[in-house]
């Protein structure tokens, strides 16, 4: 059942190119049009509220950038445990979208039940299509990741991102923000991802060598900007869940507002930075870390590593990718770093202490 892999997590990380290609095939027809239920029409929707927990919540954080930048749709995001008790004012002109691998997370389900009383439509993005969250939504969209056994979510996260990207494109079409050529461009970028992820999977041995050093750290920071900021938080969550090393993800620009006080020669700082429009800003944050003897691990593309790799402790070079969808590709090294660090520490990767796969109690 582990198909020759040592752990479910390793198998599930490796499956990502295939399951993402499956999800894309499901939601994009051969003629390049989107295949979504007719009821999913964003015309007249003036706001989208997305709610989830844990890794699924980080998927909504990334998707906020897409809905706002590609579709011009204002988005609010919240974690379910806060949303459900805050009982925020909602209106029929807005939709609520819930993301959950299991579809049984107690807080997310309670948040959905609250929203259902107030919003125009409740949409869910789920892996388990027969789950409570799927059943109680007006529209449930499967992510088609297949069964995910590892407690640390990997392929469900990247499949959630893929489906959310498709939804952002649909919102952009419905709102008149995207023409056929624009859609084709975004779809070409998404369709390139499985191949790029295969390339990233091939870096596993290099990443494992970096992880052997990370395993000695007590604290690790992850930095990112734009849609890579939520991936920094996801990378930190993955690492702490399975290696038990304290890790935090920050927006690069927040560094000087506090966390830089943590930096000394013992603190590795993982910088997730494709060479996009914000790269130079991130490089200056990186230099601030290096000036304080922090150990920078730069994860970028060849152009980024050529430009800013000097002085870094380690570099990991990924292929080039469309900037907006970079979080999907950069998930792979973030997951592999966590995985190999946990292996180096000898922890139980698939069954980390104190955690359950499905959190059905609050
Ligand atoms: O089943 P869900 O997606 O609703 O679960 C949400 C979180 O409990 C889950 O993502 C958790 O954070 C994972 N252990 C992350 O790896």
**279-310 confidence digits (pLDDT tens):** 999 999 999 999 999 999 999 999 999 999 99
**159-203 confidence digits (pLDDT tens):** 999 999 999 999 999 999 999 999 999 999 999 999 999 999 999
Residue nearest to atom 11 of ligand 1 (CA): 54
Beta bridge partners of 248: 221
All residues at 6 or more sequence positions from 132 whose CB lies less than 8 Å from its CB, including other chains: 103, 104, 109
Residue of 13, 51, 53 to mutate, ligand 1, most atoms within 8 A of C-beta: 53
* Dihedral pair phi/psi, residue 289, rounded to 5°: -65, -45
Confidence of residue 358 (pLDDT cuts 50, 70, 90): confident
Instruction: Give the relative orientation of helices 326-345 and 228-243 as an angle to the nearest 10 degrees.
Output: 20
What distance in Å separates the CA atoms of residue 74 and residue 360, rounded to the nearest whole number? 30
Q: pLDDT at residue 121 above 90?
A: yes
Q: What is the mean pLDDT of residues 83-93?
A: 97
Q: What is the pLDDT of residue 314?
A: 97
Confidence of residue 78 (pLDDT cuts 50, 70, 90): very high
Q: What is the mean pLDDT of residues 333-340?
A: 98
Are the C-beta atoms of 115 and 90 separated by less than 8 Å? Answer: yes
Residue 54 Cα to ligand 1 middle (Å): 5
Q: What is the mean pLDDT of residues 90-101?
A: 98
Q: What is the pLDDT of residue 362?
A: 86
Using CB distances shorter than 6 Å, the residues near ligand 1 are 53-56, 100-102, 105, 108, 151-153, 241, 355, 358-359
Q: What is the pLDDT of residue 213?
A: 95
Residue 253 Cα to ligand 1 middle (Å): 27
Query: Whole-number mean pLDDT of the chain?
Result: 97
Are the C-beta atoms of 75 and 107 separated by less than 8 Å? Answer: no
DSSP string, 74-127: -EEEEEHHHHHHH-----TTEEEEEEESSS--HHHHHHHHHHHTTSSEEEEEES
DSSP string, 172-192: HHHTT---HHHHHHHHHHHHT
3-state secondary structure of 67: helix
Residue nearest to atom 7 of ligand 1 (CA): 54
Enumerate the active-site residues. Answer: 357
Q: Tell me what ipTM this predicted complex has.
A: 0.98
Confidence of residue 37 (pLDDT cuts 50, 70, 90): very high
Atom of ligand 1 nearest to the CA of 359: 8
What distance in Å separates the CA atoms of residue 340 and residue 344, rounded to the nearest whole number? 6
Q: Report the predicted TM-score, pTM, of the whole model to 2 decimal places.
A: 0.98
What distance in Å separates the CA atoms of residue 296 and residue 274, rounded to the nearest whole number? 15
Place of tokens 């590593």: 305
Place of tokens 């690069």: 252
Are the C-beta atoms of 155 and 148 separated by less than 8 Å? Answer: yes
Atom of ligand 1 nearest to the CA of 108: 4
Distances in Å between the Cα of 126 and the Cα atoms of 108, 238, 317 are 11, 20, 32
**128-151 confidence digits (pLDDT tens):** 999 999 999 999 999 999 999 999
What distance in Å separates the CA atoms of residue 249 and residue 237, rounded to the nearest whole number? 8
**226-250 confidence digits (pLDDT tens):** 999 999 999 999 999 999 999 999 9
CA-based Rg of the chain, rounded to a whole angstrom? 20
């Amino acid at each position: 059942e582990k198909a020759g892999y040592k752990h479910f997590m390793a198998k599930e990380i490796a499956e990502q190119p295939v399951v993402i290609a499956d999800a894309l095939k499901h939601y994009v027809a051969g003629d390049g049009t989107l295949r979504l239920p007719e009821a999913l029409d964003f015309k007249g929707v003036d706001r989208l509220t997305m709610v989830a927990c844990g890794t699924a919540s980080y998927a909504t954080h990334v998707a906020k950038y897409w809905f706002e930048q590609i579709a011009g749709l204002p988005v609010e995001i919240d974690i379910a445990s806060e949303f459900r008790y805050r009982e925020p004012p909602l209106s029929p002109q807005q939709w609520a979208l819930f993301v959950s691998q299991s579809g049984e997370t107690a807080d997310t389900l309670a948040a959905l039940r609250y929203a259902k009383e107030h919003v125009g439509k409740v949409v869910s993005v789920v892996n388990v299509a027969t789950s409570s969250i799927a059943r109680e939504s007006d529209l449930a969209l499967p992510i088609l990741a297949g069964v995910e056994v590892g407690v640390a979510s990997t392929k469900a996260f990247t499949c959630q991102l893929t489906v959310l990207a498709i939804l952002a494109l649909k919102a952009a079409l419905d709102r008149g923000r995207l023409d056929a050529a624009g859609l084709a461009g975004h779809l070409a970028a998404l369709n390139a991802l499985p191949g790029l992820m295969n390339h990233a999977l091939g870096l596993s041995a290099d990443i494992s060598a970096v992880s052997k050093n990370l395993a000695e750290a007590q604290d690790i920071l992850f930095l990112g900007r734009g849609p890579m900021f939520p991936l920094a938080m996801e990378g930190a969550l993955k690492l702490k869940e399975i290696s038990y090393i304290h890790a935090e993800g920050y927006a690069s620009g927040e560094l000087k507002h506090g966390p830089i006080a943590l930096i000394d020669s013992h603190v590795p700082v993982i910088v997730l930075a494709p060479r996009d429009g914000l790269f130079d800003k991130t490089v200056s944050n990186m230099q601030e870390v290096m000036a304080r003897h922090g150990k920078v691990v730069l994860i970028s593309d060849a152009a980024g590593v050529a430009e800013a790799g000097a002085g870094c402790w380690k570099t990991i070079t990924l292929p080039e990718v469309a900037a907006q969808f970079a979080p999907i590709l950069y998930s792979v090294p973030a997951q592999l770093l966590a995985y190999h660090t946990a292996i180096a520490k000898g922890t139980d990767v698939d069954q980390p202490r104190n955690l359950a796969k499905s959190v059905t109690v609050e």
